Amino acid sequence: MSVLGGIGLFLLGMTIMTDGLKGLAGSSLRTVLGKAAATPLSGALWGALVTLLVQSSSATTMTTIGLVSAGLLTFPQGLSLVFGANVGTTGAGWLVALIGVRVSLSSYALPMIFVGALARLMGKGRLAAAGASLAGFALVLYGLTTLQQGMGGVAAHLHPSDLPAVLGMPEVGWLSGWFGLLVLVVVGAVMTIVMQSSTAAITVTLSAFYAGAIGLEQGCALIIGQNIGTATSSAMAAIGASATAKRLALAYILFKVIAALIAIVSFPFVMPLVRGAAEHVGGVSLLAAYHTAFNVVGVAVLMPAINPFTRFVEWLLPETRSALTRALDPAALENPVVAVEAVRRTIALSLRTMCPKIGAAIAGNEAAASGLSLAEPAAALRQARDFIADVSGPPDSESEDRRLTGALHALDHATRLAETAGEEPEFPTARDGEEEQRAAALCAEAMDAAVAAVDDIAREAAFSAAAAPIETLQTPAARVALARLDHSARQLEQLKRAHRGPTLRKVGTGGITVDQALGRIETVRRLEALARHAWRASARLLGEEAETPAK
């Protein structure tokens, strides 16, 4: 019973500590992961480091899925972070090896639980997150002590000879050794599947070895299986998920399988080295090192082939969603800031789709205006509205609050642009007077400038080389395009004001009919509305606060 209680306390502590560490990290987790993945090597290193700090490979993986879906990272960049997370998650084994099984910290853990719980319940923001982290860490320590005590009783009834012998153990034949190895690999995988945590399963293995219940080689075989077992969680999580999540889950599973195959094939050659090192290094530390080592070897094998590997995964799981809504991945909702980036990119893609077609229709270019109707971008904007409604939690900083507010304004104006463009089956193309012709030319220029203004966001997001800092919303090219858009919208707004009176007076002089006059007024009104909404949507996406074009 002590073993089960120790495992339960350990799992509970890890969950609470991970939630607290993620709260402490806040949006910086997204920023660090995004900027760190410039190269596959740096992505793997930072993925390992971040996972080590937050003690959750799932947090790193889910954030990575959101970043890739939102277009903030390419798939190879995201894959390098996932590879690194596989190495970083082995850090918990080192915590157990160096502290958990060697030192009884239960007397220190209880006061830490009290202080942490107090800070969690009475504090807010980062203080509450720090309290949860402290209380969770203390529960981990207390669970390890309880597990260690329980394993002492297990060791009295369980001996290494009671388990299948594996290669490397004294007087073990080749065939029986391979059979025992495969049996324990399967047992290790089942342990992880049952506990739904490779960290907990490996902790049990380390404690059992420390208590003398299993041998060193048997422990290594169990760890190989426990490392494979984590792939089942990814497989289950990928059911019904987006294509991006499925691709990363498949890549994660393939990585685990490849790393395990390398460990199994090299087992007969590695075990003599491990046995020799045991004369100078503690066996528990050797098991933790073995767990880390074969994950590092797996990364080293796949990293040089990351581009062919990603193409293979993409070939197995092709993307089926619309390019406009591909960023709206449910995984992005795990991090509110990533969710906002996904919505911003969807708006930019919708504008980049709508504006050229609107401009072509205004110019009377039926060939350019045909093809994809405005129904798809309009539907994408509705999906973006529903998506952002599911974002939970307030922004962590003033800058993130401004970014969210800007995205909501941009979404509103982009939706109005789609509605205004769809008011009639065809755009007005009357060219009866100079003012209407000038209004059409200004609106077409505004549409062209809007595409250029949001192009950086649509092609890639704030982690691109063109806008390295996450706070930077405008690139030089975007600023120039936004100035053009501002100028066109301003000129068109002034033209609309000056157009109505003279046009109506032409009815009295007999120059045009009433229907013609009202049609021309409606034409200019609609053209001005199109330019205004395109300007406001683009300006809000790029961090501008103005509600009306500059005078």
As a whole number of angstroms, the distance between CA 515 and CA 518 comes to: 5
Q: Which residue has the higher pLDDT, 465 or 21?
A: 21
User: Does the structure show a pLDDT above 60 at 110?
Assistant: yes
From first CA to last CA, the distance across the chain in angstroms is: 76
pLDDT tens-digit series, residues 38-53? 677 777 887 888 777 7
More confident residue, 454 or 429: 454
Q: Is 68's pLDDT higher than 80?
A: no
CA–CA gap between residue 70 and residue 219 (Å, rounded): 41
What's the pLDDT score for residue 507? 83
CA atoms within 13 A on the CB side of 323: 10
Where is pLDDT greater, at 513 or 199?
A: 513
CB-count burial class (<10 Å; 0-12, 13-18, 19+) for 353 = buried
Closest CA to 416 of 301, 337, 286, 526: 526
Which among 488-502, 503-517, 534-548 has the top mean pLDDT? 488-502
Token pair for 413 = 């104006």
Residues with Cβ within 8 Å of residue 78, at least 6 apart in sequence: 37, 64, 65, 67, 68, 248
Length in residues, the chain: 551
529 versus 200: the higher-pLDDT residue is 529
* Residue 470: closest CA among 77, 73, 78: 73
- The answer to whether the pTM exceeds 0.75 is no
Q: Which residues contact 527 (CB under 8 A, 6 or more apart)?
A: 362, 428, 439, 440, 442, 443, 492
Question: Scanning the structure block, which residue is given the tokens 């003398």?
Answer: 212
Q: Are 35 and 179 in contact (CB under 8 A)?
A: no
What pLDDT digit, counting tens, does each position of 263-278 carry?
999 998 898 888 888 8
Mean pLDDT of the chain: 78
Residue 446 has pLDDT above 90, yes or no: yes
For 333, other C-beta atoms within 10 Å of its C-beta total 18
Res. 411 pLDDT band, cuts 50 70 90: very high
What single DSSP character describes residue 98?
I
Question: 216 or 370, which is more confident?
Answer: 216
CB–CB of 39/148 below 8 Å?
no
Q: pLDDT at residue 374 above 50?
A: yes
The answer, yes or no, to whether residue 469 has pLDDT greater than 50, is no
Nearest Cα to 135, choosing from 21, 277, 304?
21
Rounded to an integer, the average pLDDT of 110-131 is: 79
Rounded Cα distance, 151 and 166, in Å: 22
Residue of 339, 358, 347 lying closest to 442 (CA atoms):
358
pLDDT of the residue at 472: 43
What is the rounded CA–CA span in Å between residue 332 and residue 64? 9
Instruction: Name the region of 86 (left: φ>0; alpha: ψ -120 to 50; beta: rest).
Output: alpha
Judge contact between 200 and 14, C-beta under 8 A. Answer: yes
Q: Is it the case that residue 105 has pLDDT exceeding 70?
A: no
Measured CA to CA in angstroms, residue 319 lies from 82, 163, 184, 314, 342 at distances of 20, 46, 38, 8, 17
Query: Cα-Cα-Cα-Cα dihedral of 184, 188, 189, 194, to 10°?
Result: 130
pLDDT grade for 97, boundaries at 50, 70 and 90? confident
Please answer whether residues 410 and 37 qualify as being in contact, where contact means their C-beta atoms are separated by less than 8 angstroms: no
- Whether the CA torsion 431, 437, 443, 447 is positive or negative: it is positive
Identify the weakest region by mean pLDDT among 145-149, 314-318, 385-389: 145-149
- The amino acid at 2: S
d(CA 302, CA 266): 17
Q: Are 285 and 96 in contact (CB under 8 A)?
A: no
Average pLDDT over residues 195-200: 72
Going 191 to 193 to 196 to 198, the CA torsion angle's sign is positive
